[in-house]
Amino acid sequence: MGYIKRMKGGDKMRGDKMKGDIILDKNKIAFDEEQDKILTLWYKYLSKDKRSFIEYFKEEHNIKLDETTSYKKIKRLCKTFLKGGQND
For residue 88, tell me if it sits in a domain. Answer: no
Answer with the residue of higher pLDDT: 2 or 39: 39
For residue 87, tell me if it sits in a domain. Answer: no
**Against a cut of 0.75, is the pTM above it?**
no
For residue 86, tell me if it sits in a domain. Answer: no
For residue 14, tell me if it sits in a domain. Answer: yes
pLDDT tens digits, 20-45 = 666 667 778 877 888 899 999 999 99
Residue 13 belongs to domain spanning: 4-81
For residue 58, tell me if it sits in a domain. Answer: yes
For residue 33, tell me if it sits in a domain. Answer: yes
pLDDT tens digits, 53-83 = 999 999 999 999 998 899 999 999 999 999 7
* Alpha helices per DSSP H over 2-84: 15-45, 53-61, 71-81
**Residues linked to residue 14 through DSSP beta bridges, in sequence order:** 4
Q: What is the pLDDT of residue 7?
A: 43
Number of domains in the chain: 1
- Is residue 46 within 8 Å of residue 53, measured between CB atoms? yes
